[in-house]
Amino acid sequence: MKVLFSSNINPNFITFSDYIEKAFREVDCETCFFENRAFVLPGRIRDRIAFLQDWDLIRLNKRLLEKAEEFKPQIYLEAGGWNILPDTIEKLKTMGIKTALWTIDPPHTFKAIITASHHYDFVFCQGTEAIQILSEYNVKNLHWLPFACDPYFHKSVELAPSERKKYGTEICFVGSWNSENNSQNYAKRQAALECLTDYDLGIWGPGWNDLPVEANLKKFIRGFHTKPEEWVKIYSATRIAIIVHYQDMKGNLPCYQASPKVFEVLACGALLVVDDQRDVLSLFESGRHL
């Protein structure tokens, strides 16, 4: 079977897109990748000038159709859904291609996805908040499909003494913090970690370097832009891993989904302490798995 997979790949580290491509190969699918963020113009320009945004978006969608004409897949899988236009999806379907959307992040900007989702043959959602939102717009063929993890990458690893010294903690947290417009949405995360400063705590993730110098958590920060291959070492070296999910503190945007880190931590064999997240508790049992 031939699959045209549309997503985003970060050249600096492995992402879920790499895991999905690997999964297709393992079941003998011939896969062609399309970069769905391959814009010519930077976002700061497109966001300010509407006709340039439209031009670049149409150009991107035209390239996707050209790729489909050349590759002739049986299935088109779109991860994300923000940049692929409804007309493009309909044209793919006229080629005899089955189309599927897989929503990923919490719905900060869901307008384009709501519009496009009606045109896909199947819609898979990382979190049940997306199913709730799309159901309200009468989108059909909705399916809950968390990303989970890949046991080839995510597993307990043996650490050298130097690595255990570098990554070893009683309690670890891997995740971001934002000091800008949406910083209030990370208040729950920061408050939870501030309750753990009497322990051997280690924090890794982007944004924490922007904490004020006097912040209690400053001395617990071990690293900023940490690659996934380091996460495995961090989780293998800790006793307890903490996950505090992103939440919109104003309550405007629901987020029920289980972070892929939930699966990754458990796959690495660490004890996981996680907040009361709806999808997590639908998949795992407190006191048994968590």
Query: CB of 123 within 8 A of CB of 134?
Result: yes
Three-state DSSP class for 52? helix
Distance between CA atoms of residues 30 and 21, nearest Å: 10
Mind listing the pLDDT tens digit for each residue in 44-98? 888 898 888 889 999 999 999 999 999 999 999 999 988 999 999 999 999 999 9
- 114 φ, ψ (degrees, to nearest 5): -60, -45
Nearest of 119, 42, 109, 39 to residue 80 by alpha carbon: 109
Distance between CA atoms of residues 73 and 69, nearest Å: 9
Residue 45 lies in domain: 2-144
94 with 178, same domain: the answer is: no
Model pLDDT, residue 109: 74
Would residue 153 count as lying in a domain?
Answer: no
53 with 182, same domain: the answer is: no
Query: CB of 16 within 8 A of CB of 24?
Result: no
- Domain-ending residue, one of 144, 173, 207: 144
Mind listing the pLDDT tens digit for each residue in 234-257? 999 999 999 999 877 677 788 899
38 with 137, same domain: the answer is: yes
DSSP code at position 219: G
- Domain-ending residue, one of 144, 169, 195: 144
Three-state DSSP class for 59? helix
CATH number at residue 265: 3.40.50.2000
Q: Is residue 107 predicted with pLDDT exceeding 80?
A: no
- Domain-ending residue, one of 97, 114, 144: 144
Other CB atoms within 10 Å distance of the CB of residue 289: 13
Model pLDDT, residue 197: 94
Distance between CA atoms of residues 94 and 166, nearest Å: 55
Would residue 156 count as lying in a domain?
Answer: no
Q: Which residue has the tokens 């920061």?
A: 190
Would residue 152 count as lying in a domain?
Answer: no
125 with 183, same domain: the answer is: no
- Cα atoms in the 13 Å half-sphere on the side-chain side of 139: 25
Three-state DSSP class for 7? strand
Q: Which residue has the tokens 């779109």?
A: 78
Model pLDDT, residue 93: 98
DSSP code at position 120: S
186 — pLDDT class (breaks 50, 70, 90): confident
Model pLDDT, residue 35: 94
Would residue 168 count as lying in a domain?
Answer: yes
First-to-final CA distance of the chain: 38
Model pLDDT, residue 210: 86
130 with 165, same domain: the answer is: no
16 with 137, same domain: the answer is: yes
Distance between CA atoms of residues 8 and 23, nearest Å: 16
- 38 φ, ψ (degrees, to nearest 5): -80, 65
Other CB atoms within 10 Å distance of the CB of residue 248: 15
Amino acid at 11: P
Would residue 189 count as lying in a domain?
Answer: yes
Handedness of CA 167, 271, 14, 255 (dihedral sign): negative
Model pLDDT, residue 185: 64
53 with 106, same domain: the answer is: yes
Model pLDDT, residue 177: 86
Mind listing the pLDDT tens digit for each residue in 1-57? 999 999 998 888 888 899 999 999 999 999 999 999 988 888 888 889 888 888 999
Model pLDDT, residue 184: 63
Q: Is residue 183 predicted with pLDDT exceeding 80?
A: no
Would residue 180 count as lying in a domain?
Answer: yes
Nearest of 249, 242, 187, 245 to residue 220 by alpha carbon: 242
Would residue 289 count as lying in a domain?
Answer: no
Domains held by the chain: number: 2
CA–CA–CA angle 280, 13, 222 (5° rounding): 70
